[in-house]
A and B are shown apart, each in its own frame.
Chain A
């Protein structure tokens, strides 16, 4: 056997290692820019646009600060000569100072005045057009909150109960129920928009907030039941059995012992359900709720349609306010959401 040149191999490995991480990070940053940049632009517009126009130079100047800082942070992160928290603080500081210097003078909160001025949109676009009379934004926010919370509460409760029952109980038709659910899961809500509209019309719930709430509850249900079934399947039988030998009834065992074990699942579907209800557009307009009630999706839609040419800044600011709750919720519960996906899909 010929002697192995270990030194050369080590050198090659070192080179390969530093290259591969660099190439991967570079590639991912490149493809992620198109996803991130529009969101960032919206933010910039909302804080910098003045009536009549958008100064896009602000965007590029802000990018000129943030891109190097982010790159530096990633580099520090990857090679870690310092403790992580120091580099984070240093980068935040650098970004803050840089932004202050480069674009500080262009930033203002004027576009967010719609939060405190009830008639702002009416004043901006003059005569009412397609959207009708615009209310104060808080009305729309309130209605969206109502639709999202009510439908979330309903579907989480219903899906949890059903998920537990099909996971843990033997009953006649269990196989049939599961197979039926599997078929229903395929039917994307949008597909059934027309017949659902007709059903809601016949029960007389067009033009109400209850219509979209009920429909939103139903359309995610098969998926959510599967997610919860997956989580309940993962709870060991032993703890339920021991609860029952300790004197609990089956329902008490469910409530006190099994349910807390499925917490992650409940959080996941609550967040998903809320974000879905918060963003709903198709059914809110389709079921004619928009005729009587404003929700955030229709509010933004018509603000964009009516005011866009006049005032980009206000449109962007409304969009930022609209996206904020979803974003915050998502950021705080990210780990639950990634846990859930496979649980639901595995079936």
Chain B
């Protein structure tokens, strides 16, 4: 129902900069997620979209119109808070009907009941928020945000107060409901799985700036920066930092071919590493069973390197000698500023030091 555009948007609190000039456009009916660690400015951005915070600089545009000065009450946005922020003195029905009070609608109660049915809280309408479980409160908050058919739905860490199983169901529920209503949605979260499973596009933020915008696959396989590479993925990516000389990084008698010189960081995802006949020699130091997979960490000249094997019984024990191999095109190479050097892959070579 609305296209949203941010142009050089920033927010400064007294002296600290929360959001530092971000540009972003969100298409109509798109579902985007803003992902980042706490304090990266993602919630501040969301509250500026809602009209709760006033931007210090830049522009927010809805359908090409600048709405910086439009108050929250006039923006027609729906918002779901981390704490749900249900009105404690009102019943579920009254909560859902609240936004309709301020609009001239025919038969608001019927609209509220329809919305309650859509989010499946139709039987709880007479209860108070304090009598609901976390998941139910979440659904009521969603219904309240959606009942007035907002231009834009904003979700601020909506799942972080739920337990793990409920989180899984609510993820697909929210996706279903927003798709059904065709509403433009912005989700703010620090949980990468939440962002990548729910959103069409993920915006990764850090320290008030956008690091990368892309699909889940983009962020995982083609991170633009060292920060994105290390923030996305669990268990985290292996990072080997070193000085490139003559096109390679060396440690002891082992070296990794990079084709690049200078301060370099080589990133290799744990699941891309296999144990082979020849490769980087290492000694197993950590063995962690993770259900269907086993996570190992082997000590090499380049430090501890984690790798995964999809077996239920450990193949290696503490102290075993292994040789680690990986495909060059599955590695990432980052330069001195933490930017990915796009056309270069790391190759592995082992010298025996003649």
Contact = CB atoms under 8 A, between A and B. Distances in A.
B275 interface: no
A292 to B, nearest CB: 56
A27 interface: no
Interface residues of A, number: 12
Contacts of B69: 10-11, 13-14
Contacts of B109: none
B70 A6 contact: yes
Nearest to B64: A6
Contact of B62 (A6, A12, A13, A16): A6
- Chain B's interface: helix, strand, loop or mixed, by majority? loop
B70 A9 contact: yes
Contacts of B71: 9, 13, 16-17
A6 B66 contact: yes
A13 B70 contact: yes
A10 B68 contact: yes
B1 A10 contact: no
A6 B66 CA distance: 7
- Chain A's interface: helix, strand, loop or mixed, by majority? helix
Interface string A2-40: 001011011111101100000000000000000000000
Interface in B45-83: 62-63, 65-71, 74, 76
Contacts of B76: 4
A12 to B, nearest CB: 8
Contacts of B65: 4, 6-7
B100 to A, nearest CB: 16
B67 A6 contact: yes
A150 B316 CA distance: 76
B1 A1 contact: yes
A4 B76 CA distance: 10
Contacts of A4: 62, 65, 76
A9 B1 contact: no
Given A6-B66, A6-B67, A7-B65, A13 B74 contact: yes
Contacts of A9: 67, 70-71, 74
A17 B71 CA distance: 9
Contacts of A7: 65
**Most chain A CB inside 10 Å of its own CB: which residue of B66, B68, B70, B71:** B70
Nearest to A15: B69
Contacts of A16: 71
B293 to A, nearest CB: 37
A127 to B, nearest CB: 64
A11 B74 CA distance: 12
A219 to B, nearest CB: 38
Interface of B: 1, 62-63, 65-71, 74, 76
5 closest cross-chain pairs (CB), A and B: A6-B65, A10-B69, A13-B71, A9-B74, A9-B70
Interface of A: 1, 4, 6-7, 9-14, 16-17
